[in-house]
Chain A
Amino acid sequence: MENRDDLIVNDSYATQSNHSEEEGKAIRKKIWQVTLLLSVLTTIEIIMGIYLSSRSASFWPVVKWSFIVMTVVKAFYIVWEFMHLGHEKKSLRRYIIIPYVFFIVYMIFLIIQEGFSVGEYT
């Protein structure tokens, strides 16, 4: 047998993820639901972005944080459903998510903190 990189168990291939016509129907329904959610959130973001800017809105921090929350929600659905991570084994899921999120949140905290500090003294 030639060398293949699509093995999960000794000599069995990754065919176990194949599914039937009925299962496919349910999956497609889920895909359209996620599509609708992503489109609605993006539309809200755009409408808010057009009418509210840091120059005009006095409640800008609220606007800014709602943009960030909507972005994280969209990212979650892309990773969980489109990239299928939510349906992988728990160990793989945690292995991918936890180190990245921990590191990046720490980076954001450190560097943005320093940014405000540098801005204050220049």
Chain B
Amino acid sequence: MAGHAENVDTATAWGGGRSPFNATYGKMMMWFFLISDALTFGGFLIALGFAKASAESWPVADEVFFHFPGTHANLPLIYVALMTFILIVSSVTMVLAVEAGHRMDQKGVQKWLGWTVVGGLVFLGSQAWEWSTFIAGPDGILSTWTDNATLTNNPYSANGMNPDDVRYTNFFFFVTGFHGFHVFTGVLINFLVFLKVKKGVYQERGHYEMVEKVGLYWHFVDLVWVFVFTFFYLV
């Protein structure tokens, strides 16, 4: 969130020899990648919208996602809410790491980036539990494969929904799975950058732009989850 000190003269910005956008090559390419990735996720979510709009009926999330570890109480959406908060918090620690980087505060970057990695790992663990609970189906037993949620079986078919309609489970696995894969790679990249921060590579370079670039990716993962949360679990 630093204000850019240097003002670019628009008359000469496109004359060559400098970035007219006042951004480095790496940061531009990260934005380009994120736009294409956002189109992929957009495609997924719009396809989900098509399925919901064209289906006779669609399961209500409150009636599918009401489990919480360690209790049998009916707690709709509470677990997903927890996952959402974990991801938001890890996004905040990431932006704090970027801010510390702008002050060349190596210890600060190390601390906040470390917490970001932890947040990502907690989210992945939560998602593993979420998946196994979803797969187990309404009876909650994972070992009975005949009534489990799979790509070819939808045990959550709502009233009036064609029992052969497996789009609900398919969208669950593909949308949250693709997002989870992004979280996984994000954690991996954050961890590698964390190691380089610890070694003092960026301190020596004079700026922590690499933290900013992986930060963009990590915020994007949080951004996607905001939309997945709304369109898969709420609407």
Contact surface of A with B, Cβ cutoff 8 Å: 5-10, 13-21, 23-24, 27-28, 30-31, 35, 38-39, 42, 45-46, 48-50, 53-55, 64, 67-68, 70-71, 74-75, 78-79, 81-84, 87-89, 91-92, 95-96, 99-100, 103-104, 107-108, 111-112, 114-116, 118-119, 122
Instruction: Please provide the chain B residues from 86 to 107 with a CB less than 8 Å away from any CB of chain A in the complex.
Output: 88, 91-92, 94-96, 98-100, 102-104
B1–A31 CB distance below 8 A: yes
Assuming A71-B226, A78-B222, what are 8 further A-B pairs, CB within 8 angstroms? Answer: A9-B19, A20-B103, A49-B62, A70-B230, A89-B22, A108-B46, A111-B50, A115-B50
B73 close to chain A: CB less than 8 A? no
With A5-B25, A31-B92, A78-B219 in contact, do A10 and B17 touch (Cβ < 8 Å)?
yes
- Whole-angstrom distance between the alpha carbons of A82 and B102 in the complex? 14
B60–A5 CB distance below 8 A: no
Q: Is the interface of A mostly helix, strand, loop or mixed?
A: helix
B77–A50 CB distance below 8 A: yes
- Whole-angstrom distance between the alpha carbons of A107 and B44 in the complex? 12
Question: A108 to nearest B CB, angstroms?
Answer: 6
A31–B60 CB distance below 8 A: no
Question: B93 to nearest A CB, angstroms?
Answer: 10
- Total A-B contacts with CB atoms under 8 angstroms apart: 205
Question: B101 to nearest A CB, angstroms?
Answer: 8
- Whole-angstrom distance between the alpha carbons of A10 and B207 in the complex? 17
List residues of chain A with CB within 8 A of the CB of B26.
Answer: 5-6
B230–A82 CB distance below 8 A: no
Question: A66 to nearest B CB, angstroms?
Answer: 10
A96–B35 CB distance below 8 A: yes
B21–A95 CB distance below 8 A: yes
List residues of chain A with CB within 8 A of the CB of B103.
Answer: 18-21, 24
